[in-house]
Chains A and B, each alone.
Chain A
Amino acid sequence: GESVGLHLPTLSVQEGDNSIINCAYSNSASDYFIWYKQESGKGPQFIIDIRSNMDKRQGQRVTVLLNKTVKHLSLQIAATQPGDSAVYFCAEEPQTGANNLFFGTGTRLTVIP
């Protein structure tokens, strides 16, 4: 089955620094990838997505990079703020025609003031 994993379970950064969260996926046929943020006591919240025909997409303070050659996904957060502290999940959508996402185990980002 599909396998989406993360290189680091925890990440601590100083406020104002940039954060990079990495994710490896195993299904080369997946064509849609999403990053979600989950704060304590809440459900996952959509951050940014990218389709397999792109290698980079930018949002507000966030950038997602996709390297299909090595099946790697990363989320970059610029000028990290205390409100960015959360667990971040990458998810992939296999080419099944349905929208059933497979999530990685998550990385806990802690921003140090």
Chain B
Amino acid sequence: DSGVTQTPKHLITATGQRVTLRCSPRSGDLSVYWYQQSLDQGLQFLIQYYNGEERAKGNILERFSAQQFPDLHSELNLSSLELGDSALYFCASSFRGGPDEKLFFGSGTQLSVL
């Protein structure tokens, strides 16, 4: 168990809908990361937060947004969902979010858009 908690584990929704994925980092970690894992793209970095502030942005679509709250949990919001958004979404955390820090991953949320 990595200590990173993600909910829900599975999510099934329809195209055009909006969903929210939730992540609680390991105790003591201040930085949260979101990754998308699909069969054809592998693990893609989406966005990183540190202590409530956005630190780095990757291949995140404009339809997607995220935030980190004062209690350090994070939410990833996906809107106007398309079939291609079906994927595993992972959250990871690290202590300060600086270089050379190990990332600890949650078990992921499997999103299926029908």
Chain A interface (Cβ within 8 Å of chain B)?
A: 31-32, 34, 36, 41-46, 49, 51, 89, 91, 93, 95-106
Bound form: Cα–Cα A51–B101 in Å: 11
A36 to B107 CA separation, bound complex (whole angstroms): 14
Chain A residue nearest to B40 (CB atoms) is: A105
Which residues on the A side are within 8 Å of B48 (C-beta)? Answer: 98-100
Please name all residues of chain A whose beta carbon is closer than 8 Å to the beta carbon of B58 when the two chains form the complex: 100
What's the minimum C-beta distance from A65 to chain B, rounded to whole angstroms?
19
B103 touches A101 (CB 8 A): yes
Q: Provide the bound-state CA to CA distance between A32 and B94, in Å.
A: 15
Query: Which residues of A sit under 8 angstroms from B25, Cβ to Cβ?
Result: none
B68 smallest CB distance to A (angstroms) = 15
Contact of B102 with A34 in the complex, beta carbons under 8 Å: yes
Q: Give a binary string over B52-80; 1 marks a CB under 8 Å from any A CB, 0 the rest.
A: 00011010000000000000000000000
Most buried by A among B90, B99, B104: B99
Task: Name A51's closest neighbour in chain B (CB-CB).
Answer: B100
> In the complex, how many angstroms separate the beta carbon of A105 from the nearest chain B beta carbon?
4
Measured between alpha carbons, how far is A99 from B58 in the docked complex, in Å?
A: 11
CA distance A5 to B62 in the complex (A): 27
A49 touching B90, Cβ below 8 Å: no
Docked-complex contact A43 and B106, CB < 8 angstroms: yes
Residue in A closest to B31 when the chains form the complex, CB atoms: A99
> Shortest distance in angstroms between B51's beta carbon and chain A's nearest beta carbon?
14
B17 to chain A, nearest CB (A): 25
Contacts of A31 in B (CB 8 A): 99
CB-CB under 8 A from B100, the residues of chain A are 32, 49, 51, 93, 99
Q: A44-B43, A89-B42, A96-B99 are in contact. List 5 more A-B contacts (CB 8 A).
A: A45-B2, A45-B105, A93-B100, A99-B33, A100-B33
Q: Which of B43, B44, B58, B98 has the most CB of A within 10 A?
A: B43
A34 to B100, CA, bound (A): 9
CA distance in complex: A13, B49 (Å): 40
Which chain A residue lies CB-closest to B47? Answer: A100
8 chain-A/chain-B pairs, Cβ below 8 angstroms: A31-B99, A42-B107, A44-B90, A93-B99, A95-B99, A97-B99, A99-B48, A103-B35
